[in-house]
Structure 1
Amino acid sequence: MSEAATHSVHPSATAGPGAKAAASTAGPGLLASLDPLLREWLPRQRWFAGKGRPVTGFTLVSATELLPVRSKLGLLHLLVRAHQPVLPTQGALPHPGDCYQLLIGVREALPPRLAPALIGHLDKGPLAGRTVYEALYDIRPAEVLLEALRTRAHIGELRFERDMRQDIPSGPVPRRVTAEQSNSSIVYGDTFILKLLRRIVSGTNPDLELPLALAREGCPRVPAPAGWLLADLGPDRESYVLGVLQPYLKGAADGWELALRELAKGQDFTAEARALGRATAEVHTALARVLPTVTLGPTQVQLMVDGMTERLELAAQAVPALQLYAPALRTAFEALADLAAEGRTWTAQRVHGDLHLGQCLRAPGGAWSLIDFEGEPSKPLAERRMPQPIARDVAGMLRSFDYAAHSVPRPVVPLRADDDSTATAADWATGCRAAYCTGYAEVSGRDPRTDPVLLRACETDKAVYEVVYEARHRPDWLPVPMAAIRRLAADEDPV
């Protein structure tokens, strides 16, 4: 990737592929003037990955004018690399810094409705005297992005592509999705949702790759991409996926919010969990048909176990509360290696990679869809694209039921829809976990519970990840994964 600013052009009023060139003010002085503002603003964003470490500097990777910055309303697309001190988990070699996608609106002054979007006022540089802000709060910049996708615009190093079989109408009113997430999304009317990735890496991104593959396979459980935004950077024109436009599932309920709502009302959720297990199995089955699968033998399993063990050791260093349980947790990984040494093999395939209730949507008719195939953003892209046992996804969903159960204060719920007896939230989670696995087996013919050693190892690895995440970002939530750590260390049967 080129680490120099690129002097690109803004589109015409329609952002079409025939846009005329215009002089850009996004020159070398731009980043120097933005630097102090970004150092304060960027770490406060939910999607900023380097929390807890100071930003020591920035490198401008790419700058593209999407609307002229000296007009009444300007729009800059920036790719900026943020430099921070290296963490021990990043190794001894210098880390290049994470690259972030920024959409910067430029105005003389902000109207009151845009006050929450303020980044700051510039008193020097090419935008001196102007105010810059997070452009996704504003209607016009969001309209520009959709129009560029609709017309397949090429603007500087940005390439807007689309599936010509899907109609993208012009004119739907955009609105920003306000829920906290690791990326940013815009909904256009009730038609499409555009997910803009914030932390950018080169290569084939599974958030576009897997939904496209599932669309070719005709899998109805994943919305088919209608358009996507790419950047072709550097002398080798490396491709970076910046965003994906997909159909908006009108009236669909977020799985996490739905589970919490039903739990708070004391409603049984096992039927939904079972249906969600069926949907997950449908997606896994389709992925196994359309993309290669591999067999994991002793060598491959040992590498997987080594990775799990290393993550546990690093986590125990970072979160002292884990140290008491680390020896017992390690036995979950060792048991998996022992099975492999005895000749046991497993099939690995492409999976979702970060499956939980928040990555699932239930349509008004009851059908479940899976979304957000980016995988765990903290992992390298190559690792996220590696074939994995399906137990990785199953373990993620099992952990999500636990999270839901611990998020509603002391509910008392029916044990089953046809049972008048009541149960604790922990019982609610156990019932959902069992129902999910049952639903999965109904479609795939394989019940994840019949491979308890693999499932325990994957769930332990996931819980360890959660402990580190919560300790770093949401300390109040730390008791949730720690409860699972205690159960897994005792090797108690969770389902």
Structure 2
Amino acid sequence: MAEIHDTTMEPSRLELLAAWMPRQRWFAGKGRAPQLRVVGGYRLDDPAGEVGVHVVIVADDSGSAPVVYQVPLTYRDSEAPGLGRALVGTTQHGVLGERWVYDGAHDPVFAATFLDLLTGRTAAQDPSVSDTPQPRVAGHTPGDASHLRLVEHTVLAGEQSNTSLICSLVSEPSGVVMPAIMVKLFRVLAAGDNPDVVVAGTLSGAGSPYVPAVFGHVSGVWSDPAGTSSDDDGDGGAPSSPATSRSRRSSWRASRTPGA
């Protein structure tokens, strides 16, 4: 389990994101400087204990109405080879020293730990309290998929509003290569059931040959962006005692890749 430190980050997580997000294709506030606040999130444990993994959910108040974004981040103690284009920035952690912060969608540690969450091999953790599960975030698959493990992943280029990962899998302990899945990260979130999951799940469940079979999804809860949440504390970034919460049926969707 990762230890959560009560300390500061300079620049803070929100400052890093405010500088980085406007350069991303999926950022909806083109031409505006983000005004960010944390409304939710969770952590995942790296089995090797080397990389911090934190899915941050932030609301941007720079427009006429709040827009909620989902950003998976990874934290490393040195520059990661091959992840230069995914660098969000560097920060000075009050306990751990200099940290390299990356867009987790491109980081193999995030992809592996997220797949473990999706298949039930691991549980989401509270972003601000050590050794404490976050029960409001859970993976869902139609059957037992806990025997599956990520081998490698690639990120599709050119997407405007979401980020899709092609994940190669093996079955343990046999090591048998399994069909790849595509995991879609929804960058902009909204409350309620996600039509992309509901419609695709209904059609594939009915045996439609025109949509990929849905492998599973992850659901979560965050603070109502029209309400209030705690400020980023530099280490946790979790909302404290939100007045109201809304659930998104899935912030991720995974499906079999065409032809798999």
The TM tier, using the shorter chain, reads 0.7 to 0.9
Q: Which of 226, 233, 245 is the matching residue for 2:254?
A: 245
Q: Which of 106, 113, 117 is the matching residue for 2:82?
A: 113
Q: Which of 11, 15, 20 is the matching residue for 1:41?
A: 20
- Could you report, residue by residue, the CA deviation over 1:383-403 in whole angstroms, capped at 9, with x for unpaired residues? xxxxxxxxxxxxxxxxxxxxx
State how 1:60-459 maps to structure 2 within 5 Å: 60-67=38-45, 71-86=49-64, 95=65, 97-124=66-93, 128-151=97-120, 153-155=122-124, 156=134, 157-164=136-143, 169-189=148-168, 190-234=179-223, 238-240=246-248, 241-250=250-259
RMSD: 2.9
CA–CA distance in 1 between the matches of 2:37 and 2:164?
Answer: 25
- Could you report, residue by residue, the CA deviation over 1:402-449 in whole angstroms, capped at 9, with x for unpaired residues? xxxxxxxxxxxxxxxxxxxxxxxxxxxxxxxxxxxxxxxxxxxxxxxx
**Higher alpha-carbon Rg:** 1
Partner of 2:98, secondary structure, is: coil
Q: Are residues 221 and 168 of structure 1, via their aligned partners in 2, closer, same or farther at CA, if it must alter by over 3 Å?
A: farther
| Identical positions, percent | 26
- Could you report, residue by residue, the CA deviation over 1:175-198 in whole angstroms, capped at 9, with x for unpaired residues? 222233310111112510000100
**1:111 counterpart letter in structure 2:** A
- Could you report, residue by residue, the CA deviation over 1:4-42 in whole angstroms, capped at 9, with x for unpaired residues? xxxxxx6xxxxxxxxxxx5434x6956971232212210
The answer to whether structure 1 residue 54 and structure 2 residue 23 are counterparts is: no
Give 1 or 2: higher strand fraction: 2
Question: Structure 2: 5+ residue runs without aligned partners?
Answer: 125-133, 169-178, 224-242
**2:39 counterpart letter in structure 1:** V
1:127 CA displacement: 6.2
Partner of 1:130, secondary structure, is: strand
- Could you report, residue by residue, the CA deviation over 1:197-255 in whole angstroms, capped at 9, with x for unpaired residues? 0001110110111011212332221112111011123566532121000001148xxxx
Q: Figure out how many residues of one structure are paired with residues of the other and give that number.
A: 220
- 8 A Cα contact 2:120 2:145, kept in partner: no
Q: Are residues 33 and 214 of structure 1, via their aligned partners in 2, closer, same or farther at CA, if it must alter by over 3 Å?
A: same
**4+ runs of 1 displaced by more than 6 Å?**
165-168
Q: TM-score, normalised by structure 1?
A: 0.41
- 8 A Cα contact 2:220 2:247, kept in partner: yes
Q: Are residues 28 and 237 of structure 1, via their aligned partners in 2, closer, same or farther at CA, if it must alter by over 3 Å?
A: farther
The answer to whether structure 1 residue 24 and structure 2 residue 4 are counterparts is: yes
**1:74 counterpart letter in structure 2:** G
Q: Are residues 100 and 126 of structure 1, via their aligned partners in 2, closer, same or farther at CA, if it must alter by over 3 Å?
A: farther
CA–CA distance in 2 between the matches of 1:31 and 1:203?
Answer: 35
Q: Are residues 126 and 32 of structure 1, via their aligned partners in 2, closer, same or farther at CA, if it must alter by over 3 Å?
A: farther
Partner of 1:53, secondary structure, is: coil
Question: Structure 1: 5+ residue runs without aligned partners?
Answer: 1-9, 11-21, 87-94, 252-495
Q: TM-score, normalised by structure 2?
A: 0.74
Q: Which residue of 2 aligns with 1:326?
A: none
Partner of 1:143, secondary structure, is: helix
- Could you report, residue by residue, the CA deviation over 1:59-93 in whole angstroms, capped at 9, with x for unpaired residues? 1112322136x94211111111122143xxxxxxx
Give 1 or 2: higher helix fraction: 1
Structure number with higher relative contact order (C-alpha < 8 Å, ≥ 6 residues apart): 2
State how 1:458-477 maps to structure 2 within 5 Å: none
**2:29 counterpart letter in structure 1:** G
